């Protein structure tokens, strides 16, 4: 199922109207009368997007797809209990490989098989990292391929309003030191550098971990990062604490954040970028992944006052 819906994406069948003729999707089979249950983390605008793909699959195959979202996907009650029950979905979409690995060890996942593993290796580039992200030990400790990368977001982006940057004479920073200097300059100019929100229900805080992961990759080695992922580098190690303290320079400074530092934990991650578009702008920058435009205000709404662009969250010159 994951392979087939991804094929729909590769066919560039974006609007549902493009899927009226199933030919571009290839010979993926006919499944009239079949119902496929899919459990995933996407709601709101992101649910609309995945349903475009599932609509294509239904038109091409005759199957019926029932997608159910869980805004609390990461919590025990919402996901793990569901997958342990007799009402298991056919497909579960995991935001985190770690949670999938936990369930694979319990024997709750079905391996995808050698054919799909081969296809992914052949089509996702020479790097084995995509395959490795979906490969976990089974209950016997043998590595099996369970997870197919379906939707990938680029995380290391800083969104901004080109009009605001031009108006204030700001230039895109190419080092982290320059980014911090730019933030200080914005404050001196009477502007607020950042919009930051980490509220996300039972998953509150994941945007903060994205910041820290980015900082870790800019302040230590890839080997140390991998050790952190594998729980060989503890969270209270000097390396991790250093990254958390750098994140605090952005998030704990009232002058740096729209609404002040206390607003960070209470602002929903999808609402926080809207400060880029208020008039006057509530903030100048917002660090978030490539999916965040789905949460931008629609053209014509009160909030909109221009377009957005992004730049790469830069490395430290001194690291």
256 vs 271: CA distance, rounded Å: 17
Q: For residues 147 and 97, is the Cβ–Cβ distance under 8 A?
A: yes
**Per-residue pLDDT of the chain in tens (319 residues, 90 and over written 9):** 233 333 222 222 333 445 554 444 556 788 899 999 998 888 777 888 899 999 999 998 999 999 988 766 666 556 677 777 777 889 988 887 888 898 899 999 999 988 888 888 888 876 678 888 899 999 999 999 999 888 888 999 999 999 999 999 999 999 999 999 999 999 999 999 999 999 988 788 989 999 999 999 999 999 999 999 888 999 999 999 999 999 999 999 999 999 999 999 999 999 999 999 988 899 999 999 998 998 888 765 544 556 899 999 999 999 8
Query: Measured between alpha carbons, how far is residue 312 from residues 88, 143, 271 in Å?
Result: 40, 35, 21
What's the pLDDT score for residue 46?
80
Can you give the pLDDT at residue 128? 75
151 conformational bin, left if phi > 0, alpha if psi -120 to 50, beta if neither: beta
Exposure of 91 by Cβ count < 10 A (0-12 exposed, 13-18 middle, 19+ buried)?
middle
- What was the pLDDT predicted at 192? 98
Sole residue written with tokens 């342990």: 84
Spatial contact of 305 and 279, defined as CB atoms under 8 Å apart: yes
First to last CA, the chain: 43
Tokens of 16: 């549902």
CA distance 138 to 90: 18
Give the rounded distance of the alpha carbon of 64 from its chain centre. Answer: 27
267 touches 199 (CB < 8 A)? yes
Q: How many residues does the chain have?
A: 319
The pLDDT of residue 125: 73
Residue 229's pLDDT is 85
Residue 203 pLDDT: 81
Q: What is the number of other CB atoms lying within 10 angstroms of the CB of residue 288? A: 25
Alpha-carbon distance 205 to 197, whole Å? Answer: 9
């Amino acid at each position: 199922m994951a392979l087939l819906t991804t094929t729909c994406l590769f066919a560039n069948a974006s609007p549902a109207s493009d899927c009226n003729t199933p030919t571009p999707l290839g010979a993926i089979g006919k499944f009239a009368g079949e119902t496929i249950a899919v459990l995933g983390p996407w709601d709101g605008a992101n649910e609309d997007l995945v349903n475009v793909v599932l609509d294509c699959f239904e038109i091409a195959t005759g199957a019926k797809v029932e997608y159910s979202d869980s805004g609390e996907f990461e919590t025990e009650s919402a996901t793990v209990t569901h997958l342990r029950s007799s009402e298991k979905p056919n497909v579960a979409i995991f935001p985190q490989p770690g949670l999938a690995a936990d369930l694979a060890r319990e024997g709750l996942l079905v391996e995808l098989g050698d054919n799909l593993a081969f296809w992914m290796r052949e089509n996702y580039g020479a790097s084995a990292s995509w395959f490795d992200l979906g490969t976990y030990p089974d209950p016997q400790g043998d590595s099996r391929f369970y997870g197919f990368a379906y939707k990938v977001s680029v995380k290391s982006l800083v969104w901004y309003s080109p009009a605001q940057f031009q108006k204030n004479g700001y230039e895109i920073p190419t080092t982290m030191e320059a980014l911090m200097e730019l933030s200080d300059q914005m404050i001196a100019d009477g502007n607020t550098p950042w919009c930051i929100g980490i509220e996300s229900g039972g998953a509150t805080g994941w945007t903060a971990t994205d910041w820290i992961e980015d900082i870790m990759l800019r302040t230590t080695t890839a080997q140390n990062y991998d050790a952190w992922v594998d729980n060989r580098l503890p969270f209270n190690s000097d390396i991790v604490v250093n990254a958390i303290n750098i994140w605090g320079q952005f998030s704990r400074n009232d002058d740096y954040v729209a609404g002040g530092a206390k607003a960070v934990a209470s602002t929903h991650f999808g609402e926080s970028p809207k400060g880029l578009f208020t008039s006057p702008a509530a903030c100048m920058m917002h660090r978030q992944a490539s999916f965040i435009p789905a949460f931008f205000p629609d053209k014509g709404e009160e909030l909109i006052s221009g377009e957005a662009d992004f730049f790469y969250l830069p490395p430290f010159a001194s690291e």
